[in-house]
Amino acid sequence: MSMTKETATQLDHVEDSTKDQALFDEETKREHEQTFRAALRDERGVILWATVFAAAALSWGFDAQVNGAAISVNSFRRDFGYMYEGQAVLPANWQTAFNVMSSVGQFFGGLSSGYVADRIGRKWCMWYGSWLLMAGIAMEVAASTRPVFLIAKLILGFALGFYLSMAPAYCSEISPVVLRGITTCGVSLAIVIGQLLSNAVIKAFGERPDRWAYRAPFCIQFLLPAVLIVVLPFAPESPWYLVRRGNLEGAAASLQRLHGKGRDIGPRLAQIQRTLKLESELYAQATWADCFRGVDARRTMITLGAFCCQHLSGIIFVLGYSTYFFQLAGLPTSQTFSLGVGVTACGVAGNISSWWLVNSAGRRIVTLAGMAVLTVMLALIGVMDVVPTAAAQWVQSSLTVIYAYVWFLTIGAMGYVILGEASSPRLRSRTIGLTTVVQSLWGLIMNFAIPYLVNPDEANLKGKVGFIFGATSLMCTIWVYFCVPEFKGLTFSEIDERFKKGVPARKFMEYKGDSEAPSA
C-alpha cells in the first residue's frame, strides 16, 4: 500500500518535531549540568561580549553620581547658582531641573529603545546611542548657562536610556544558566564602578577654583562611548533577536562566535527556536499591550516592581547625594569627598560579593533579606539625625557607607538579574524598555523631591529623610515576599512553564513539571 504525499509530509513534520525536541532536551540537560568552573573555561566569548555590553552601564552610573556630586563642587554652585549667607547655593528648582532633565531623556530613550532594538538589533541600538551620548557630553562640557546645560542633560539622558535597556537584555540572552545571574549582575557592577569613578574624579578636581573642577569629570565620561563606537560593530548580535527575525544562519554564526568553534550549536539553536515558538503560541505578534496582558502581565509587574524597590529603598538620597549630605551633616569638605569615594567603593565590593550569592543563595532570598536590612538602616540614619552630637554624625555617615555595600549586594544587583529572567524572551526588549521608563519616572520624582527635602534653604530635613525611605522600604520588603519568585538554575523555557501554570512566587523551586498543579 503506497503512502500519500500528504501523509509523507505529516510524517516528516513529526520526525522534525521529534528531532527538535531531542535537541531541546539535550541543551536543557547540558545547561543544568554545566558547572561554573566549566562555564568560565568554555564560555569565553559569552564572558567577553557580556562584559563589553555591561560596561556601557558605566556611563549611566557616572552620570547618576556626577549629578549629585557636582552640587558638592563650590565652583559649580557658584557658576550656576547664587550666594546665600556667604555660601554658593544652586537653587533647588534648577538643581531639580538638571537632575530631572536627565531622567526625562531616559524616559523617552527607554521607551523608544524597545522599538529600535526590535528593528535593528541590540548592538546597533547601543551603537547609535553612543553617538548621542557623545553629543550630549560635549554640550555639557561647553555649557556656560543653565538652559544649555539643561538641553545637554536631555540629550545625554536619552542616550543613557538606550544603554540601560540594551545592556541587561543582551547579557541575559547570550548567557547560559550558570552565568546568567553573574553577567546581569555585571550591569549593576558597571553602574557602581561608574559612580566610583565619578566620585574619584570629583575628589581629584572638585576643590579647584575654576570651571574645570566640574568640567574635567564630564570630559572623562566622554571616553567610554568613544570606545564602544569602535568596538560594537565587531560584536555578535543576540541570537534570540536573529531567530525572532527569521535569520537562522546569522543566529548560528552568532552562537558559534559566542560559544566557540568547537561547540555543536545545534542544540542551543533548537532550544531558542522552540522557546520562542512556544511563546508565539500565546500571541502571534509582540506588542506593547502584550506586556500587560495574560501571563506576561505578571512578569512585567515583577520586573517593574524590582526597580521600584531600588528607588523606594532610598538609593538616590543615600548614594546620589552622599557627598552633599555629608557636607550638610557638618563634616569637613575634604573628608566628605573621601567619604563619597568610600561609599561607592563599598558599592563595588557589595556587587562583587553578590556574584557568589546569586548562584548559591539565589535571587529571592537575597532580595528579601536585603530589603529588610536596608529598612532598618534607613530608620537608624533618621534616628542619628535627631541626636545632636558629632559622634552621631559619624555613625550616620558610617551607616551610609554600609548601606551602599548592602544595597549593591542585594537589590542593586538582583534587580538586573530579575529583569533578565522574569521578562519573557519574546517581549524582553520591550519589557526592559518599560523598566527604563519606570526608572526614569522614579528618577524624576526623587530628583525633584530630594533637593527640597535636604537643601538648607528648603525643608532642611537632612538625615531625617531616612524615616521616609525606611517606611517605603518596609512596603517593598512585603511586596518582595509575596511577588518575587526564585529563578536560580532554571532555563528560560522552565521559567516560561512556571508562569504559564500560574505557580505562586513562593513555590517556584518546588514545582517539578507539567504533572504538578500549582497550589496557592
Over residues 182-192, the pLDDT tens digits come to: 888 888 888 88
User: Given this model, what pLDDT does residue 242 score?
Assistant: 92
User: Given this model, what pLDDT does residue 177 score?
Assistant: 81
Same domain, 197 and 299: no
Residue 460, SS3 per DSSP:
coil
User: Given this model, what pLDDT does residue 516 score?
Assistant: 44
Same domain, 72 and 167: yes
Three-state SS annotation for 336-380: HHHHHHHHHHHHHHHHHHHHHHHHHCCHHHHHHHHHHHHHHHHHH
User: Given this model, what pLDDT does residue 20 score?
Assistant: 64
User: Given this model, what pLDDT does residue 456 score?
Assistant: 66
Same domain, 195 and 312: no
Q: Cβ of 297: how many Cβ atoms within 10 Å?
A: 12
Mean pLDDT, residues 321-325 = 61
User: Given this model, what pLDDT does residue 484 score?
Assistant: 93
| Residue 36 maps to a domain | no
Same domain, 92 and 177: yes
User: Given this model, what pLDDT does residue 271 score?
Assistant: 83
Mean pLDDT, residues 393-419 = 85
| Residue 17 maps to a domain | no
Mean pLDDT, residues 187-212 = 80
Same domain, 324 and 212: no
| The model's pTM | 0.73
Number of domains in the chain: 2
Same domain, 299 and 183: no
User: Given this model, what pLDDT does residue 481 score?
Assistant: 94
Domain boundary among 220, 235, 250: 235
Mean pLDDT, residues 383-402 = 79
Q: Identify which has the larger pLDDT, 149 or 449.
A: 149
Same domain, 57 and 165: yes
Same domain, 202 and 345: no
When computed from its CA atoms, the radius of gyration of the chain, rounded to whole angstroms, is 24
What's the pLDDT band for 475 if we cut at 50, 70, 90?
A: very high
Same domain, 220 and 322: no
Backbone angles phi, psi at 82, to 5 degrees: -150, 170
- DSSP designation for 175: S
User: Given this model, what pLDDT does residue 93 score?
Assistant: 77
Q: Of 210-214, 417-421, 469-473, where does the model show the most confidence? A: 469-473
User: C-alpha grid cell for residue 460?
Assistant: 532642611
Same domain, 116 and 228: yes
Pick from 140-154, 189-203, 368-382, 475-489: least confident: 189-203
Domain boundary among 235, 266, 300: 235
| Residue 195 maps to a domain | yes
How many angstroms from the chain centroid is the CA of residue 420?
A: 9
Could you report the per-residue pLDDT of 44-66, keeping only the tens digit for each? 889 999 999 988 888 888 887 77
User: Given this model, what pLDDT does residue 151 score?
Assistant: 92
| Residue 448 maps to a domain | yes
What's the pLDDT band for 322 if we cut at 50, 70, 90?
A: low
User: C-alpha grid cell for residue 84?
Assistant: 546665600
User: Given this model, what pLDDT does residue 125 score?
Assistant: 92
What percent of the chain has a predicted confidence (pLDDT) above 70?
Answer: 85
User: Given this model, what pLDDT does residue 3 score?
Assistant: 43
Cα distance from N-terminal residue to C-terminal residue, the chain = 55
Residue-number span of the structural domain to which 193 is assigned: 42-235
| Residue 269 maps to a domain | no
Could you report the per-residue pLDDT of 160-179, keeping only the tens digit for each? 888 888 888 888 888 888 88
Pick from 153-162, 220-229, 378-387: least confident: 378-387
Quickly tell me which residue has 525611605 as its cell: 469
Q: What is the CATH number of the domain that holds 480?
A: 1.20.1250.20
Q: Identify which has the larger pLDDT, 338 or 213.
A: 213
Q: Identify which has the larger pLDDT, 436 or 501.
A: 501
Mean pLDDT, residues 273-298 = 74
User: Given this model, what pLDDT does residue 519 score?
Assistant: 41
Is residue 518's pLDDT more than 50? no
User: Given this model, what pLDDT does residue 375 score?
Assistant: 95
Same domain, 296 and 220: no
Q: Of 262-271, 311-320, 405-414, where does the model show the most confidence? A: 405-414
Average pLDDT of the chain, as a whole number? 81
In the chain, count H helices and then E strands. 24, 2
Q: How many CA atoms lie within 13 A of 324 on its CB side?
A: 30
| Residue 1 maps to a domain | no
Pick from 32-41, 68-77, 362-371: least confident: 68-77
Mean pLDDT, residues 107-133 = 88
Domain boundary among 235, 263, 298: 235
Q: How many CA atoms lie within 13 A of 491 on its CB side?
A: 21
Is residue 397's pLDDT more than 60? yes
How many angstroms from the chain centroid is the CA of residue 306?
A: 10
User: Given this model, what pLDDT does residue 276 score?
Assistant: 79
| Residue 344 maps to a domain | yes
Same domain, 230 and 304: no
Q: Shortest CA distance to 416 belongs to which of 190, 184, 189, 193?
A: 184
Q: How far apart are CA 454 and CA 442, in angstroms?
A: 18
What percent of the chain has a predicted confidence (pLDDT) above 90?
Answer: 20
| Residue 37 maps to a domain | no
